[in-house]
Amino acid sequence: MKQIRQCDPMLAGRKVAVIDDDIRNIFSLTSALEEHGVELHYAESGRAGIELLQRIPDVDAALIDIMMPGMDGYQTMQEIRTMPQFSSLPIIAVTAKAMKGDRQKCIEAGASDYVAKPVDIEQLVSVLRVWFHRTERPRLLKRTGTDNVVNFPAQ
């Protein structure tokens, strides 16, 4: 009997950008996260990833590989962080670089979090849930009209 997976309410409808030069990694992340209701967009280089984010400014998170030719993940994250609209975007470094100090180097380059390859999908989903929960409050803000009062919807 085929098990039907329920969409995760914390992930369903979220837009995630995957920036990775290996199409196999993009495919596996896309296949796994789409089961949770995530809408994925991808780019195969750092420069193309930045252009993707500029085309889809309402993306909810970015998964960025570190080891890419040309503009690597560190440079990509640093450039993304210079753009005001992405200053608080959850960026998850997804990398095979799992030596001591690599996590800290990713955080210093602008990553919000770090997941080592090969990716444990449940760990990645858990990390995304945490970051979406942390950024949930700003998504709930609603302007009340011409004044500068902000109302928080009842929970």
Element (H, E) at 132: helix 121-134
* Per-residue DSSP letter, 1: -
Residue 38 covered by a domain:
yes
Q: What pLDDT does residue 134 have?
A: 87
Q: What pLDDT does residue 7 have?
A: 66
Residue 89 covered by a domain:
yes
Q: Which two tokens stand for residue 45?
A: 């280089």
Q: What pLDDT does residue 144 have?
A: 43
Would you say 37 and 12 are in contact if contact means Cβ atoms under 8 Å apart? yes
Residue 6 covered by a domain:
no
Residue 31 covered by a domain:
yes
Would you say 78 and 110 are in contact if contact means Cβ atoms under 8 Å apart? yes
DSSP string covering 48-116: HHHHHHHH-TT--EEEEES--SSS-HHHHHHHHHTSGGGTT--EEEEES--STTHHHHHHHHT-SEEEE
Edge-to-edge strand list for the sheet holding 39-43: 39-43, 15-19, 61-65, 91-95, 113-116
- Helix 121-134, helix 23-34: angle, nearest 10: 70
Domain with residue 132: its CATH number is 3.40.50.2300
Q: What pLDDT does residue 6 have?
A: 56
For residue 20, what are the domain limits?
15-151
pLDDT tens for 116-136 read 999 999 999 999 999 998 887
Residue 1 covered by a domain:
no
Q: What pLDDT does residue 101 have?
A: 87
* Residue ranges in the chain modelled with pLDDT below 50: 1-4, 137-155
* Residue 15 amino acid letter: K
When divided into structural domains, the chain yields a total of 1
Residue 109 covered by a domain:
yes
Residue 9 covered by a domain:
no
The span from the CA of 107 to the CA of 114, in Å, is 8
pTM exceeds 0.75? yes
pLDDT tens for 93-104 read 998 877 788 889
Q: What pLDDT does residue 98 have?
A: 73
Would you say 94 and 73 are in contact if contact means Cβ atoms under 8 Å apart? no
